[in-house]
Structure 1
Amino acid sequence: MTDIEVQVDVLLASNSPSGQQAFGGLLEDTSDATESDWMESLQNIGQGETEEPLSFLADVALALSCGDQAACSCDCEACSCAEVRRLEASLRSMQLQLQFFMSKADDLQDCLVNGQGHLEREALAAAVPSFLFTCQPFFNHLESTARSTVSQLTSLSFDIYKGHLQLLDLCQQLCDRLEQLVLTYASYNLLCLDETEPNSVSHFCIGQSQFGGLRLTVFLYCKLTPYLARVDTGLYKRMRWNVDRLADEQQHTDEKQGGEREAKTARETEFYFLCYEDVSNAHAEAGRNSQDVSLGNMVRMWSIGQWVQENPDPNTEDINDWIMCEVPQATYHRLLLLGSDEPSSCSATDFLQQLLLSQQTTE
């Protein structure tokens, strides 16, 4: 067995049911470990004779995110200092994990570029979706930690706010690297980015957070994708947000559990997209168009909008309407115009979160 195949086997085994049980036990057995123990374990990864499976990092992320969450209801300087120290410790551990994930992405890309043999290439292609899945707990921790208190920013100290921005920056770095990895594999015809194909890797999850009775799950499309699969609307989507509106008792349960476990059901789910379309310069605001996005008399404009389903009728009670509809159709309800510059994934999520919170205050 070649070194490449060994690496791929490690990646795939880490996400097998037996592997999840084994590492679940590891997390339980080491739940009393100090943060310094976790940090030392992270720094020692890859230095031994055998390489630690990737799911170990997912366990570390979960352990660190719930290891020191002592509640403090008093509004005092001591509590603020303790929160700053906790956030700084979390940042250090997250930075180590980011380095590990970035290194693994580099390894996968190097193995593809320098690898030889048809079977090795196929094994590597199968490892990429597994690697994306392994990164999700890390994304979830960063997003939930950074965004859960956005609605309370006025009561946060500058140091805490700066720490939250640093967490989002780590999220953005890994997001950009994974997107580059997927596009590289697609350029070698090892991954499909066509959303209509069953085994497509057209998009991947980049985090989940909960605030104000809403659960926000974020997805990034690796390339610009038509808004509707079989109808040319002139719209191309770059991101999708699944927004679950939770019942009160579900919200209370999730908050009590630290947001680590998903609510079993959602009262309602809405879908929002970051899209662009080419519009006439006459309709673009003065000063927003730039030479690098202008196409003749057209300019590319970005916006956030909501999926408004038309067919099948979302209120229908006839299941045959859903069975007979091969591809759902919907309109795009624009909610926020962002201009001609594409926002980063973290910035776009910031815009949507602010929009959702403002909607709650007006309801």
Structure 2
Amino acid sequence: MTETKVEVESPADPRTLCNPPQDNRQKLDPMGTHRELEESLLLLADVALAPPCGRDASCSCLEVRQAGLGLQCSQQQLQGFLKKVEHLRDCLVGRNSHLEKQALAAAVTTLLYTCQPFFRRLESTARSPASKPSHLSAEVCSKLLDFSQQLCERLEQLLLTFARYGILSVDEAEADSVSHFCIGRCRLGRLKLTIFRYCKPTPYLSQVDTGLYKRMRWNVERLPTDADGDEEEESDRHTDYFFLCCEDLPNQSDQGALRVWSIGQWVQLDPDPQTDDLYDWILCDVPRGDFQKLLCLGCTEPSSCSATDVLQQVLLQRRSE
């Protein structure tokens, strides 16, 4: 009798469920080195063919070429992140066990953290006057912000899809929820903006129904300087909180409520911001605050990019007053 061998395939490692093996042949592709060399030669050619108008003309041509390459690199990075988003969606549809559910939830949170440096670079390059190269045109800055907007929307859709499947929660009241995520940081002089996006309209206060729902939050850290122009200690810094909120108002035309969008500032009520009693903060489960409306944006929800543009203008106007 002939002995038959049966090979049993070992179960897949859950850590690799959402990270398919890559083809090692890509690493050995000689075309990658060839393309890098070609781009370097083209960059040098631009400088060599610059009109003989002095050193400034050559530098300007070189800077424009570098800006184009930087934009192309950012677009390639964006496409890489979007492919990861699509891959996680495919993994969600094909999941088979509870173990895969845990691996998928971990993969999503990892992707959010992985995208943060990319968001910071896009927002900082396009918005921060100090870090914005002088040769970047308004068109290039607009494209960088468009990349940020695209990735923000796709990540938001991914989180909402995972929430519908019960993989994770976007309810801020739950401790382990993913109700919002960071989408960049920029500097405006002595102001440092950190931008957050909520996956869906979320109650302004978790324990009190105010009728307001927050969609975005900006942490605006003010960095004071001493007489010598050096930044002061970390404890001397102050942070204000601004929100993009919506509220449903009665419609006189009897067609239901009218949703209105506005930008406002958090005003601390409880605990008293002027108190020095530490126990007031310890005994307070959830701080309460008011919404000081600064600007009404109408009935159309603004994108995260355009809302940040509006807040940036408000902050710059305040600084000039």
TMscore range, shorter length: 0.7 to 0.9
Letter in 1 for 2:121: H
Q: Which residue matches 1:168?
A: 145
What is the number of equivalent residue pairs in this alignment? 282
- Aligned counterparts of 1:152 and 1:207: Cα–Cα separation in 2: 15
Could you say which residue in structure 2 is the equivalent of 1:48?
24
Question: Deviations along 1:72-123, whole A, 9 cap, x unmatched?
Answer: xxxx665554443222111111111111111111111100111211111111
Distance 1:118 1:342, change over 3 A: same
Asked if 2 retains the 8 angstrom alpha-carbon contact of 1:219 and 1:240, the reply is yes
Query: Aligned in 2, Cα 1:176/1:349: closer, same or farther, shift over 3 Å?
Result: same
Contact 2:193–2:219 (Cα < 8 Å) also in 1: yes
Match of 1:270 among 231, 240, 245: 240
* Equivalent residue runs for 1:14-93 within 5 Å: 46-48=22-24, 80-93=60-73
- Give the corresponding residue for 2:8: none
Mapped contact 2:129–2:187 kept (Cα < 8 A): no
Q: Which residue of 1 aligns with 2:52?
A: none
For residue 210 of structure 2, what is the amino acid of its counterpart?
T
Gaps of 5+ in 1: 12-44, 52-75, 255-262, 283-293
Letter paired with 1:130: T
- Equivalent residue, structure 2, for 1:16: none
Scaled by the length of structure 1, the TM-score of the pair is 0.71
**Corresponding position of 2:281:** 322
Question: Is residue 151–residue 357 contact of structure 1 (8 Å, CA) maintained in 2?
Answer: no
1:204 counterpart = 2:163: no
Please name the residue that 2:314 is paired with. Answer: 355
Whole-Å separation in 2 of the counterparts to 1:253 and 1:79 = 32
- The whole-number CA distance in structure 1 between the counterparts of 2:67 and 2:77 is 15
Change (3 A) 1:152 1:123: closer
Q: Which residue of the partner structure matches residue 114 of structure 2?
A: 134
Q: Which residue of 2 aligns with 1:28?
A: none
**Kindly tell me: are residues 315 and 348 of structure 1, through their superposed partners in 2, closer, same or farther at Cα, counting changes over 3 Å?**
same
| 2:193 pairs with 1:216 | yes
With over 3 angstroms needed to count, the CA separation of the structure-2 counterparts of 1:166 and 1:49, relative to structure 1, is same
Seen in structure 2, the aligned counterparts of structure 1 residues 252 and 218 have a Cα distance that, compared at 3 Å, is: farther
Q: Deviations over 1:180-212 (max 9, x none)?
A: 111111001111111121111000000011111
The CA distance in 2 between the partners of 1:225 and 1:123, in whole Å, is 27
Structure 1 match to 2:12 = 2
Distance 1:50 1:112, change over 3 A: farther
Whether contact under 8 Å (2:125, 2:132) holds in the other structure is no
Q: 2:86 aligns with which of 95, 99, 106?
A: 106
Once residues 347 and 295 of structure 1 are traced to their aligned partners in structure 2, the CA distance between those partners, rounded to angstroms, is 31
Report if the CA contact (8 A) 1:244-1:266 is conserved. no
Aligned-pair Cα RMSD in Å: 3.0
Q: Which residue of 1 aligns with 2:105?
A: 125
Cα 1:177–1:297 shift into 2, 3 Å: closer
Identity across aligned pairs (percent)? Answer: 52
Letter in 1 for 2:237: R
Structure 1 residue ranges, 4+ long, deviating more than 3 angstroms after superposition: 76-83, 150-153, 251-254, 263-266
Aligned partners of 1:192 and 1:201 also within 8 Å: yes
In structure 2, what is the Cα distance between the partners aligned to 1:107 and 1:194? Answer: 24
Instruction: Summarize the alignment of residues 276-295 of structure 1 with structure 2, pairs less than 5 Å apart.
Output: 276-281=246-251
1:327 deviates by: 0.8
1:188 and 2:158 aligned: no
Unmatched segments (≥5 aa) in structure 2:
1-10, 28-55
Inter-CA distance 84–3: structure 2 relative to 1 (3 Å threshold): farther
Specify whether residues 118 and 351 from structure 1 end up closer, same or farther in structure 2 by C-alpha distance, changes over 3 A only.
same
Q: Which amino acid aligns with 1:124?
A: L
CA distance in 1, matches of 2:251, 2:57: 52
Bigger CA drift: 199-208 or 81-90? Answer: 81-90
The 1:215/1:280 distance shift into structure 2, 3 A limit, reads same
Question: Looking at CA atoms only, which structure, 1 or 2, has the larger radius of gyration?
Answer: 2
Question: Is the 1:226–1:237 Cα contact (8 Å) retained in structure 2?
Answer: yes
Tell me: CA distance 1:2–1:351, structure 2 relative to 1, closer, same or farther (3 Å): same
